[in-house]
Amino acid sequence: MPLTLREMRQNCSDARDLMKRARAEKFAVGAFNLDNQETLKAVVAAAQAKKSPLMVELSKGEVDALGLDNIRDMVDNYKVSHGVEMYINLDHSPTVADAIAGIEAGFEFIHIDISQARHDASEEEIIAETRQIVEYAKLTGALVESEPHYFGGSSNVHKENIDYEEIKKTFSTPEGSLAFVEATGIDTYAAAVGNLHGKYPVPKVLDLELLQRLRDTLECNISLHGGSGTPEHYFVSAAKIGVSKININSDMRVAFRNTLEKVLDENPDEFAVIKLMDEVIAAVQVVVETKIDAFGSAGKAQVRN
């Protein structure tokens, strides 16, 4: 059932309060990709067990498969039934129209990512379209996230090593980041400090000194995309520096698929796959709980009655 505008505004106000708490108390909020109801169950179970606030997030492919209003209803149903603090992030929204649809569906966090969708978009185009969403988001109070650069990688398992000399060309700079934030008015800046989407044969390496300089320069929230495959000590440091949001996707998908393949192999005569999903859900839950511990968000949930 669609939310009223009043309910959307209250949820967005709660989300803004969460970001303030994260900054003040030096923890990061996990944003965990939602592929299906089983993934949602795993995330909710982790949030409940750890008493942690979190986001579930979906990019366009997942939105097209599940539907904006269906996602909103599913998340709200689980919030109520399990008593968790949980919000929805529209991740890598490729167009102004897609981002507006997320705002109107009551998503509390909106990531408008023009550079990901159009690699050749100029900074002027990115700024102009991001500003449109910042203005439209005033309807509900949704928090808007963006960046002026293209993130490398993809939410998959990669066989190639990481070419850091190439990746460094897209690193954020304090001066460029500040200029972009001031030009757009965004709530959250997606920093590039060695993070990139997907899992790789080697661990990711984050430039924490650069991250600290970005934190010293920017007043807004800072997020890290591409958290999968990152040694957890980087998350601990990032949260202490003042990163407010960290995205996790591929680590969850690997756990899901590997465990699903295992239980299917072990049960060749069972065709009611739903009966085999408990172990899959538990495996994804372990991933989420491990990230929550590294982010420092355990015990930080505040559930509004």
35 is a catalytic site residue? no
Phi/psi for 67 (5° steps) reads: 95, 130
8 A C-beta contact, residue 47 and residue 54: yes
Gap between the Cα atoms of 234 and 158, Å rounded: 21
Gap between the Cα atoms of 198 and 174, Å rounded: 25
Amino acid at site 275: K
8 A C-beta contact, residue 39 and residue 256: yes
Choosing from 17, 35, 91, 187, the catalytic residue is 91
The DSSP secondary structure of 107-135, one letter per residue, reads -SEEEE-HHHH-TT--HHHHHHHHHHHHH
Question: In Å, how far from its chain's centre is CA 167?
Answer: 21
Which residues share a beta bridge with 90? 58, 110
Structure tokens, 204: 């990711």
Between the CA of residue 77 and those of 82, 139, 171, 202, 256, what are the distances in Å? Answer: 9, 24, 39, 39, 23
8 A C-beta contact, residue 190 and residue 147: yes
Residues noted as catalytic:
91
